Amino acid sequence: MSPWNFRPSAASNARQLIIHDVTLRDGEQQAGVIFTAKEKIEIAAALDRMGVNRIEAGMVAVSAEDREAIRAIVSSKPRAEIWTIARSVPKDIELALECGVDGVGVILLGNEQYCRIFSWELEEVVTKALSAADRAKQAGLKTTLLIADSTRMKEERLKFIVESATKSNNFTALALMDTFGALSPVGTRTIIQAVQSMTDLPLEFHAHNDFGVGTANALTALATDVNILHTSVIGLGERIGNAPFEEVVLAAKLLYGAETNVDLQQLNNIASLVSKRSGVQLSPHKPVVGKNFTRIESGTVASEFLRWSKWGEDLQWIFPYVPSLVGSAPVELVLCKGSGLANIDSALEKIGLQISDDLKKEIVSSVKSEASRLHRELTLKEFTNLVTRTTEQTNGSQDNTAKSA
């Protein structure tokens, strides 16, 4: 890791990271994503085995099937706390209690737009949320106030909500929900510090990724004394999605020095599972879990990799972190336009061929030409055929030269 991350001037307040994973609820709100009850149980079990602290298993008001899945997850007796979210209505709290969850997030829709659309008064909205939370608290549930779209509220409106929730003594935490991904990292720090001055309750942070800064915002929250972060595996979520679980947890650990219970070696496995069950394909250059992380085309980098491997040195000098830390696939040297002798040596070893150094140089040139013609990398089979053709052409040329002599 870079030593600049841990200089006194860059030091953060990151400590124990608590992951509140929303894959099964907000993740399913991504257009076209549907998890069956069986799939939700499977994903929850995988998250639990990894050491995720809290799993938001669904929204109780959505359907009977969702509630069935939540009850099944609770019945499996996971180590993780199982949470749900509820509207500020008594019925939702009763449904949450029937499901046997550990905690409930009570949604408060209190910004100007919501109140205008539904003809609500802010005081009425807050009163209903406090009442719902009181019922949950009396029943022994942990209760977080989810302040929806809090990051676009006027400060006086947000202050009224925060102070009312604090005085009620009904909540174990308040969650700042960047529902529309409207914050910058600097804005994230600013709103958190402002709210911290309004309450002594712990804060949670829920980031969306509409501007591509969901991970950065979540990490900024962590560095500003917020250690409960909402994440979603592979970033599934409404519109463009949420802060990706795998990015947040790895960066929190390696870049900020935060402690986490999550088994990092399972990050690729959980990403693959959620991708498969959701039908959302992983981009090859997705941070942390994209397959291109361990695929090297550059001849110079491939040469460095082979030398470091031969010497038994730490691969962190070739990568930002050792690939095995997150369960990545073994390093693969790719055959393409930028490949060099190291890539060729690796491929020849795979197919069990030994050729002269002069012929290797011809093969490098042939690989570059063929990749440019195909407009893609070569498969191992195509490489084998290319080596065979080049060898035959070279031998044939030598035979003709000998005959001419």
Kindly report, as residue ranges, where domains of CATH 3.20.20.70 are found in the chain.
Answer: 16-278
Structure tokens at 60: 């109780």
Average pLDDT across the chain, whole number: 93
* Digit-coded pLDDT (tens) for 346-355: 999 999 998 9
All residues at 6 or more sequence positions from 48 whose CB lies less than 8 Å from its CB, including other chains: 55, 76, 78, 79, 80
The share of the chain scoring above pLDDT 70, in percent, equals 95
pLDDT of residue 11: 64
* Digit-coded pLDDT (tens) for 134-179: 999 999 999 999 999 999 999 999 999 999 999 999 999 999 999 9
Torsion of CA 384, 388, 394, 400, to 10 degrees: -170
pLDDT of residue 15: 80
Question: At residue 403, does pLDDT exceed 80?
Answer: no
* Digit-coded pLDDT (tens) for 260-310: 999 999 999 999 999 999 999 999 999 999 999 999 999 999 998 888 777
Backbone angles phi, psi at 206, to 5 degrees: -120, 105
pLDDT of residue 402: 43
Pairing of strands 228-231, 18-21: parallel
Calculate the CA 374 to chain-centre distance.
34
Mean pLDDT of 305-323: 79
Mean pLDDT of 9-19: 79
Question: At residue 127, does pLDDT exceed 50?
Answer: yes
| Cβ proximity of 103 and 83 under 8 Å | yes
| Cβ proximity of 232 and 203 under 8 Å | no
* Digit-coded pLDDT (tens) for 33-61: 999 999 999 999 999 999 999 999 999 99
| Cβ proximity of 182 and 152 under 8 Å | yes
CATH of 16-278, one of 3.40.50.2000, 1.20.140.10, 3.20.20.70, 3.90.340.10: 3.20.20.70
Question: At residue 111, does pLDDT exceed 90?
Answer: no
pLDDT of residue 301: 92
